[in-house]
Structure 1
Amino acid sequence: MATPAFEEIAETFDFLDDWEDRYRHVIELGKAMPPMDASLQVPATKVEGCASQVWIMPRIEGGRFDFQGDSDALIVRGLIAILHALYSGVPVGEVAGINATAELARLGLEEHLSAQRSNGLRAMVERIRNLAAAA
């Protein structure tokens, strides 16, 4: 089951009929996300496999997964915000059980993202799963 924050995004996507409106919403989600401190944007936090620059830094508090993320591309910042809504606050041991592909399919992202962006999104999900597994 998705988090309430992700469910809210899914409901908004259901309401927005036009992909252009959804695209703008993804960008707005990215703009609303707090920026990641530049000191954390280092090779150790960089996500490989993304066309854009992407950094993800995990935070585990009270056994729950959270992360900070950032990108140099607005649409990718929005995708990070969506992933944050999907995974933030989930018990660390349950992160691997989230079917990100199915949840993201509810938003219809795959059919509208370029192949490079789709590959980058998969790389971000894989990075999050690996970070949670290592915690």
Structure 2
Amino acid sequence: MSLKDKVAVVYGAGGSIGGAVARAFASEGAKVFLTGHSLASVEIVAKDIVSAGGSAEAAEVDALDEQAVDGHLRSVVDQAGRVDVSFNAIGIPDTGIVGVPLADLDVERFSLPIAAYTTSYFLTARLAARRMIPNNSG
């Protein structure tokens, strides 16, 4: 896989999966724009990528906030000219679910990750597609 000169946005880049994907994209030549709900963890991944010779920018973006995602993608296009890859690896850290027996779990807590993941995946993919389609990328 060669991503030389491609522009990739990784949502949830501060986590283990998102961070690994971001590092892999950068090692294959992509300019990566890393996002996360917490800037500190995303900056660590960005510093790793830059110190390995790659190109990375970090930003705090709530992938459940349509305006935040749209604004970030606008800034990516302003800086890099386009978006070629959008990868979503967000996580929902919710200690109210982890380890709770099914018999004790309420429907709201059960539904939270389902709603959050599908909403985030939809928003990030749709908004990226709006920028990719005119450039025949993605």
Q: Give your verdict on TM over 0.5.
A: no
Return the structure number with greater helix share. 1
Normalising by structure 2, report the TM-score. Answer: 0.34
**Structure with bigger gyration radius:** 2
Normalising by structure 1, report the TM-score. Answer: 0.35
